[in-house]
Amino acid sequence: MDQHTLVLLIPFAPFVIAGLAIWTRHSRRLAEIQANATAEKAAQYAAHNQALEDRVRVLERIVTDGGYDVALQIEALRDVNRVTDGERASVSDKLQ
């Protein structure tokens, strides 16, 4: 590279550095957004998994417990779920 080419390239250096800084900041922000989305999905999957595990436990208890009327237990569980859902709604309303 000769001197004339170097002299012509020096004025472009600040633009190259600024572009690199913008690109780096943008890449970091995208990584943060992706990490937050991944964490949120993991929390949703965990909550859904817990709800399914609870339902399976209840079903196992109903199936293995032969001394009770199954229909009455199912209705009782539906009532409990309605109360639990109502409590969740009231708690979420208070938090907002």
pLDDT in tens, 11-52: 888 999 999 999 999 999 999 999 999 999 999 999 999 999
Q: Which domain, by its residues, includes 43? A: 1-50
pLDDT above 60 (res 65): yes
Residue 77 near residue 58, CB atoms below 8 Å? yes
Please report whether residue 69 resides in a domain. Answer: no
Q: 84 or 20, which is more confident?
A: 20
> In a 10 Å sphere around its CB, with 0-12 CB exposed, 13-18 middle and 19+ buried, how is residue 73 labelled?
middle
Which contacts (CB < 8 Å, 24+ apart) does range 60-65 have?
A: none
pLDDT at 30: 95
Please report whether residue 68 resides in a domain. Answer: no
Name the average pLDDT for the chain.
81
Number of domains in the chain: 1
Which pTM does this prediction carry?
0.45
Please report whether residue 17 resides in a domain. Answer: yes
Please report whether residue 19 resides in a domain. Answer: yes
